Amino acid sequence: MHSFAADNYLFVLSSRLLLIVVLFGYTLAGCFSACSDPEPAKEPPKRDYIKRIAGANDSIPVAAAQRGEVLIAYADCYTCHALEHRAKGPAFKDIAARYPVNKGYISLLAQRIILGGSGAWGNPVMTPHPALSKADAELMVSYILSLK
Ligand code: HEC
């Protein structure tokens, strides 16, 4: 039942397959030579330049910081933030380094989390979190500022 057309079809198919295998091989070889680079250029993790805002620091109750840490873990914060380096948003440690710990700043930053923010750290925008209560947002800020 081998017709010429079927043989021809098989030939085209197998030569295409060969092409794919060869191309894949090249890609792989390219990766190996790049990956076995003896000294891969390591970019240092990005941090923001911090302009520390002057002000007295109150102490943060440990329980508040711990509750804030849990709330943050269950929210979407880590899609844009990391502890140590800039992602879409500033590093939590950089936020801690900028703001003094007191009621005024805790309230201000909680408000920014709820309403969303931009301009304080550059162009990217923090989406608002309207479902968040002010009290929970303040606990989150307590955790962030405890990272000093
Ligand atoms: C869509 C990305 C995104 C998400 C999600 C996000 N952030 Fe942000 N966040 C940002 C960006 C971008 C900034 C910087 C805004 C600016 O420049 O004013 C920021 C800034 C902040 C600041 C500092 C605000 C200021 O005015 O200095 C705090 C505090 C903060 N985020 C906490 C949180 C917390 C807590 C959550 C989770 C509830 C969260 N963020 C979720 C992107 C995000």
pLDDT tens digit sequence for 51-107: 899 999 999 999 999 999 999 999 999 999 999 999 999 999 999 999 999 999 999
**Dist CA 77 CA 144 (whole Å):** 11
pLDDT at 34 over 60: no
Q: For residues 60 and 101, is the Cβ–Cβ distance under 8 A?
A: yes
Atom of ligand 1 nearest to the CA of 137: 35
**Dist CA 113 CA 141 (whole Å):** 9
Give the pLDDT confidence score for residue 105 in this predicted structure.
97
Give mean pLDDT, residues 36-45: 67
Give mean pLDDT, residues 120-134: 96
- Residue 81, exposed/middle/buried by CB under 10 A (0-12, 13-18, 19+)? buried
120 lines ligand 1 (CB under 6 A): yes
Cα 19 to averaged position of ligand 1 atoms, centre (Å): 49
139 lines ligand 1 (CB under 6 A): no
Confidence bin at 125 (pLDDT 50/70/90): very high
Which of 21-25, 48-52, 91-95 is predicted with the least confidence, judged by mean pLDDT? 21-25
What percentage of the chain exceeds 70 in pLDDT? 73
pLDDT at 135 over 70: yes
Which residue's alpha carbon is nearest to atom 5 within ligand 1?
77
Higher-pLDDT residue of 67, 50: 67
Atom of ligand 1 nearest to the CA of 140: 35
Quick one: which H or E segment has residue 12?
helix 4-35
Give which of 132, 111, 109 is closest to 121, Cα–Cα. Answer: 109
Give the pLDDT confidence score for residue 47 in this predicted structure.
80
Whether this prediction's pTM lies above 0.85 is answered by no
Higher-pLDDT residue of 140, 12: 140
Topology, domain 62-145: Cytochrome Bc1 Complex; Chain D, domain 2 (1.10.760)
71 lines ligand 1 (CB under 6 A): no
